[in-house]
Amino acid sequence: MAQSTKRALKIIKAMRSATFSGISVTELAQSVGTSAVNICRDLDDLMDEGMVEKRDDGRYQLSVAMLQIAAAYQTDYNRMASRLAEINNRINNH
């Protein structure tokens, strides 16, 4: 996996804890263990893809699109879990 891809994933993970307060480039650089220049470059890429937003105060947060991906995953997961429970009940009742 390319270094920039790994950094972008680390950035997304670091942003999980700052959903409402946002996070600064400096905080991300410390969390990810890279330079602010690399963080800015990766944030630009993530913003171009609609995964991250820059707030008016200069901090960054996960975008609504990222949250929609998470919500879609949760919906699919719940649907699958329900279906598996149904199958399990059929197996156990026969």
Which structure tokens are listed for 88?
Answer: 């399990």
pLDDT digits (tens, 9 = 90+) for 25-44: 999 999 999 999 999 999 99
Distance CA 60, CA 72 (A): 23
Domain residue extents for the chain? 1-62, 64-94
d(CA 30, CA 65): 25
CATH topology of domain 1-62: Arc Repressor Mutant, subunit A (1.10.10)
Low-confidence stretches of the chain (pLDDT < 70) are: none
- Distance separating alpha carbons of residues 77 and 58, to the nearest angstrom: 35
- Provide CB contacts within 8 A for 28, sequence distance 6+: 11, 14, 15, 39, 43, 60
Closest by CA to 63, choosing from 43, 38, 77, is 43
Measured CA to CA, the distance from residue 91 to residue 34 in angstroms comes to 52
The residue assigned the tokens 């630009």 is: 44
Say what the pLDDT of residue 54 is: 97
